[in-house]
Structure 1
Amino acid sequence: MALAQVRDVATHAGVSPATVSNALNHPEKVSETTRRRVQAAIEELGYVRNDAARQLRQRHNTAVGMIVLDVANPFFAAVVRGAEDSLGVHRRPVLVGNSGQDAERELAHLRLFEEQRVSGLLISPVGDVLDRLREISRRGTPVVLVDRHHGDDEFPSVAVDDELGGRMAAEHLLEQGRRRLAMIGGPTSIRQVAHRRAGAQAAVDAVEGATLTMVGTEAMDVESGRDGTRRLLAEDAERPDAIFAANDLVALGALQELVRAGVRVPEDVALIGYDDIEFAASATVPISSVRQPAVEMGERAAALLVAAVEDPDAPPEHPRFTPTLVPRESTLGD
């Protein structure tokens, strides 16, 4: 059975094809009665609008492309939700690409979104893609960096002060009397990880006798947390008395491995994560964390993008959010 076309809807509703087009794209131009007749005809005929063809004719696409490091991470899912809610008000759908912390996959998404002629791009970069983003921007597609601030301020950006967050996490562990700290996470090429490590190192350097050991991982997920903790416990050196996980998924994996190995949390090893995802609070031992305002970050990034679309010559803004410490049983005990 052939798909219904605009002319079929027009005939069924007793109006012109132009009126159907207005009812779909500019409903304020038609009466409520006519709009309802057109909608009834659409439902009866099963008409589905061909947005790809419409955008080709109009030579633009209202959709926004968004590339995140890990869509399975509840933190990034919340960032996407914030962006979707904000852009939905402007009738701009969000197409989400998951780089999976893979630079080649990230480039593939960038190529796809360029081919789709998206109206703007939100990206949390994993690779060195700044030159590519400059090309995209020069061709007229606004770019906003999410969860990252670029030093020369050429792109609008939304970020959290990750150095402060890393320092807060380490200072909290040090305040509990811990001195042999380890940080698990990676790869360190991810700027968020590098900045959190720098903040933690600064806190450790300020306390005599305190040390920080870095255990790198290839990803930022639960399995990486388990693997990093296994390697840490297998070392001949004295066991650390505290672990700072680069995000909460890594912290959940670390907790699983510590429990499996018979290590008590926090009596033997205190544990703190980063992001404050919902699973951290509901873990067997509720995990302390550094909270990032994920939804608010997504909303602010979307607002910056809309502003850039409306005024491409406006100077870029760089709002930076302040993280907050959320202490729980994994560092405080009962």
Structure 2
Amino acid sequence: MGDVSIKEVAQLARVSPGTVSNVLNRPERVAPATRERVKDAIRELGFVRHGSASTLRAGHSRTIGLSVMDIGNPFFTDVAAGAEDVASDLGYAVILGNSAGSPSKEEHNLTVFAEHRVRGVLITPSDDAPHQLDRLRERGISVVLVDHPSHRPDQCSVTVDDVAGGRMAVAHLLDRGARRISYLSGPQTIRQCLDRGHGAGQALAAAGLDPSGAMETVEAPAMTARAGQEAAERLVGSGRLPEAIFCANDLLALGMLRGLLQAGVKVPGDVALIGYDDIDFAAASAVSLSSIRQPTYTLGQIATQLLLEECGDPGTHAHRQIVFQPELVVRESTGPARQDGGDHPTTDGE
């Protein structure tokens, strides 16, 4: 049996060959019902297009690039899942690059994406240097920032208000009665860590406390469970336990929890603990972890939708900078509410 042609697919789907071509190359321009009818015809006939030839004609492939800072962090796994689901529905594949927070690895990822003629790029940048992204745009490759705000009107971004999240976390610890708090941050070169720490300081100031005296910031070399456990060991060894600890993400918090429990420190009896991201492991830990929830899957979905909208019609696309609000999820690690009426009850959203 010979190769099935676009014309045969068009006849079976009762559309024009141009519509079939749009489904293959610009599906966002085709009505969903028509798109599904064409896809059904493609499956029934076993049509396979010649990818390299279509890429040369269109100047791009049916792929988008996704560069994240740490694929070992479930936060980014969930973002990738949301991106892949939307991309797949529209006939795209996702090429994943893990920068590990390294600008040189990130640059390599972007070079590989360009070599593969990706249609667009989703990226959580390792720093604020825009030149690499500008080079992609000059090549006609659209870019959307994920979990990082854009400060330019011609750039889409999808992020979460991390200042509000940090403020929410520490306000909750204050409501639980804590007055000596440690903030376990990741590298201070990471914007999210800085923003969450800034929000924590705002919560202390709003409570009439001096942030420089009420909160000690400890910088971990990485945002991993191992780094969190090592920080716990140093903290216990110092003999100066705070009343509460706010960790910049859940991996740090879970490592901190492990280290504290192994040292015989009771959580929340001796130290209250809260994380950030609300990954699946937070609810399943030995002491279930209070956390600041981010809509991770939705970040990936919305960012991909914005990217493919821009790819489909870059001339009229309206750039948007979308900011989601985080949510406090209260579990065992921050202890029971105060009995003086100062706490505002919240529920575990699980």
Residue of structure 1 in register with 2:145 after alignment: 145
Partners in 2 of 1:303 and 1:108 — Cα distance? 25
How far residue 59 of structure 1 moved from its aligned partner, in angstroms, is 2.8
Q: What is aligned with 2:252? A: 250
Match 1:263 to one of 262, 265, 283: 265
Contact 2:66 2:94 in 1 (8 A): yes
Which residues in structure 2 correspond to 1:28-107 (within 5 Å)? Answer: 28=13, 39=46, 51-52=51-52, 54-107=54-107
Instruction: Name the TM-score, length of structure 2 as normaliser.
Output: 0.82
- Work out whether residues 269 and 335 of structure 2, in 8 Å CA contact, stay in contact via their aligned partners in 1: no
Residue in structure 2 matched with residue 168 of structure 1 by the alignment:
168
Match of 2:236 in 1: 233
SS in 1 for 2:62: coil
Secondary structure of 1:319's aligned partner:
strand
Q: Partner of 1:110 in structure 2? A: 110
Kindly tell me: are residues 304 and 177 of structure 1, through their superposed partners in 2, closer, same or farther at Cα, counting changes over 3 Å?
A: same
The 1-side partners of 2:139 and 2:274 are apart by: 44
- SS of equivalent residue, structure 1 residue 272: strand
Aligned equivalents of 1:263, 1:257: Cα separation in 2: 9
**Distance in 2 separating the partners of 1:179 and 1:299:** 39
Is 2:12–2:41's contact at 8 Å kept on the other side of the alignment?
A: no
SS across alignment from 1:96: strand
Rounded to whole Å, the distance in 1 between the matches of 2:267 and 2:289 is 10
Residue aligned with 2:277, SS: coil
CA positional deviation for 1:20: 4.0
1:329 aligns with 2:332: yes
Post-superposition CA distance 1:67-89 (Å, at most 9, x none): 11111211111111111111222
Whole-angstrom distance in 2 between the partners of 1:246 and 1:188: 11
Shift of 1:90: 1.3
Cα distance, 1:132 vs. partner? Answer: 1.1
Q: Secondary structure at the match of 1:205?
A: helix
Aligned equivalents of 2:268, 2:11: Cα separation in 1: 60
Report the counterpart of residue 32 of structure 2 in structure 1. Answer: none
Q: Runs of 5+ in structure 1 lacking a partner?
A: 1-8, 11-16, 43-47
Deviation of residue 55 (structure 1)? 2.0
Moved more, 283-292 or 310-319: 310-319
Evaluate the alpha carbon distance shift between residue 74 and residue 37 of structure 1 in structure 2; reply closer, same or farther with a 3 A threshold. Answer: closer
- Alignment partners' CA distance in 1, 2:299 and 2:334: 27
Partner residue in 2 for 1:300: 302
Counterpart CA distance in 2 for 1:55 and 1:252 is: 45
Q: Match of 1:91, SS?
A: coil
CA distance in 2 between partners of 1:33 and 1:175 (Å): 57
Q: Deviations over 1:221-271 (max 9, x none)?
A: 1111112222223336x3211111111111110000000111100011100
Aligned: 1:221 with 2:224: yes
Q: CA deviation at 1:128?
A: 3.6
Per-residue CA distance 1:45-78 (angstroms, 9 max, x = gap):
xxx8763454235432120001111112111111
Contact kept in structure 1, 2:176 and 2:336, CA below 8 Å: no
Q: Matched residues in 2 for 1:32 and 1:102: separation?
A: 40
Measured after TM superposition, the shift of residue 104 of structure 1 is 1.3
Extract unaligned runs of 5+ from structure 2: 21-37, 338-350
Deviation at 1:35?
Answer: 6.3
Evaluate the alpha carbon distance shift between residue 297 and residue 161 of structure 1 in structure 2; reply closer, same or farther with a 3 A threshold: same
Tell me the matched-pair count: 311
Cα distance change on mapping 1:91 and 1:168 into 2, 3 Å = same
Give the match for residue 278 of structure 1: 280
Question: Is contact 1:182-1:214 (8 Å) kept?
Answer: yes
RMSD of Structure 2 on Structure 1 (CA): 2.6
Q: Tell me which moved more, 202-211 or 80-89.
A: 202-211
| Distance in 2 of aligned mates of 1:32 and 1:137 | 31
Equivalent residues of 2:150, 2:321 under 8 A apart: no
Residue by residue over 1:310-334, the C-alpha shift from the partner in whole angstroms, topping out at 9 and shown as x without a partner, is 2223331011101000010000259
CA distance in 2, matches of 1:215, 1:280: 21
Secondary structure of the 1:213 match is strand
Residues of 1 paired with 2:181 and 2:198: CA distance?
A: 13
Report the identity percentage.
41
TM-score, normalised via structure 1 length: 0.85
User: Which region of structure 1 is more displaced relative to structure 2, 300-309 or 207-216?
Assistant: 207-216
Distance 1:171 1:90 in 2: 42
Contact 1:184/1:229, CA 8 A, preserved across alignment: no
